[in-house]
Amino acid sequence: MTDQSMRSLLASLAASGDLHHVTRPVDPRFEISAILSLRDRGPAQLFDSVNGQAMPVLGNLFVDRGRFARAFGIGQDDLPAYCLAALDEPITPRIVSAAPVQEVVHRGSLDIAALLPVPHWFERETAPYITAGVIVAKDPETGRRNVSIARLRLEGGARLMAGIAKNHHLYILAEKARARGRELEIAVAIGNHAAILLGSQMYVGLGDDEFDIAGGLLGEPVELVKCLTVDLEIPAHAEIVLEGRLKPEDLIEEGPVSEFPGFYVSYGPGIAAEISCITHRRDAIYQAILPGYAAEHGLLGAIAIETTLTRDLRRSIPAVRRVVVTEGGMGRLHAVIAMHRPRLGEGKRAILLAMGLVNLLKLVTVVEDDVDPEDPRQVEWSLAARFRGDEDLVVLPGVKADRCDPVHEQMTVTKIGMVAATRSGDGARDSRSEFAAAPREVLERIRATLDSY
């Protein structure tokens, strides 16, 4: 059986020197934020000593694709196929009766800020935010489970505030509860295996349980345990769980909050939540995800978009091999689609389909699969080598935008597509698709023995 906690990954990172212990005491107010952003690409950071707090804080855990591959026990090249397989073969969770996450139980009048070392991230944000909280809820109509992340701001005592986008399922569930004059039970799991975090981000339908995808990623059912004060189940191997209710009639003005483009935004009012119980492991580690324009925040969304989009594009256009949502594009707005010998016009078709399927995408570049779509240099090389501005460019002004797009006007944006592919027609290859190289057999022989030279 797999270790369904985040701890075997921590042990593996420690063994390879990819886990840095910050032993010097840090202030949860801005200091953790500063250290994580200054070390955004390096080893995971474990803050052993947080002022005024008993629990350590872990940050920058999933800052590159290799970390996800390591968590799944696979090679990094296999990650895209591995994620696709999980989407195609979801596994239903299993309920267990005892769980490490319920070793310690706090009930009664709770002060979240005293129990958990929640960082205050940025200067103009008015309070600390829980950023790695995976929120479980059930549809008041159908009883179907939903799992997703929304940042939760500390409002004092047992109160929180969630700013949820109106198109997200969790918002739709809260609306359904409000229409029935009810509150929406939630459980928030902090400190999770990669499968749970990534599963929570997958673009699946309303009514699809993201824990099924997480099970696919684990290769076995996610073990869930029943909550103590709400009728929900949460990952048994998480570090910390908060149980409570969203109160859809109780709105709190959010004010400035950081968003993935890196700027502050003001979305208006968020929904209040009241926490009734906190449980955690005896030696719990508080996981934090640096929000804003940061590697981990970007990558969680990027891999999820890539996986669902690859599946959906391939259903209509088999020549699609890979989709990469780029880091410079904030892990949300720009994608590269690698296609195998696209027919004339097929690249443009993939662009239109991708933009239609994922509202966030506004710059999509098609390359051929003889280049690595993960490498920005090779993508630019493709533009230099294969893109003709007069014919291979698609410009679509006035398309509906996501609320997060930094340049949207009245929620619309200009979308751009570029096809950087050779013109092969039906089978005939352009001479400019043939790379100059030594004979294949020589290359292969030397490659196999290169270390001896």
Ligand X SMILES: Cc1cc2nc3c(=O)[nH]c(=O)nc-3n(C[C@H](O)[C@H](O)[C@H](O)COP(=O)(O)O)c2cc1C
Residues that bind Mn ion (CB under 5 A): 146, 169
Q: Decide if 111 contacts 248 (C-beta within 8 A).
A: no
Q: Among residues 200 and 422, whose Cβ is nearest to ligand X? A: 200
> Which residue, 201 or 310, is less far from ligand X as judged by CB?
201
CB of 353 to ligand X, least distance (A): 20
Task: Give the integer Cα–Cα distance in Å for 208 and 166.
Answer: 18
* Closer to ligand X by Cβ: residue 106 or 144: 144
Judge whether 244 and 230 are in contact, CB under 8 Å.
yes
Write out the binding residues for ligand X, residues 124-143 only, by CB under 6 A: 131
- Residues 393 and 434: beta-carbon distance below 8 Å: no
Here the tokens at position 33 are 């934020």
How big is the chain, counted in residues?
A: 453
Strands 320-325, 134-138: pairing is unpaired
251 forms beta bridges with: 271
Verify binding: residue 329, ligand X, rule CB under 6 A. no
Contact 339, 368 (CB under 8 A): yes
Using CA atoms, how far apart are residues 368 and 149, in angstroms rounded to an integer?
Answer: 34
Min separation Cβ 20 and ligand X, Å: 21
Between 99 and 295, name the residue whose CB sits nearer to ligand X.
Answer: 295
Task: State which of residues 54, 95, 165, 179 lies at the interface with ligand X (CB under 6 A).
Answer: 165
Task: Give the nearest residue (CB) to ligand X.
Answer: 148
Please report whether residue 149 would count as binding ligand X according to CB under 6 A.
Answer: yes
Single-letter code of the amino acid located at 302: A
Does 169 bind ligand X (CB under 6 A)? Our answer is yes
Pairing label, strands 145-149, 286-287: unpaired
> Residue 289's binding partner, choosing from ligand X, Mn ion, none, with beta-carbon cut-off 5 to 8 A by kind?
ligand X
Is residue 170 part of the contact set for ligand X (CB under 6 A)? yes
CA-to-CA distance for 326 and 288, rounded, in angstroms?
A: 23
Q: Using the rule CB under 6 A, which residue among 22, 99, 115, 150 binds ligand X?
A: 150
Position of tokens 């829980």? 130
Residue with smaller CB distance to Mn ion, 174 or 294: 174
Smaller CB distance to ligand X: residue 308 or 365? 308
Q: Shortest distance, CB of residue 203 to ligand X, whole angstroms?
A: 6
Binding interface with ligand X (CB under 6 A): 131, 146, 148-151, 163-165, 168-170, 201, 289, 297, 300-301
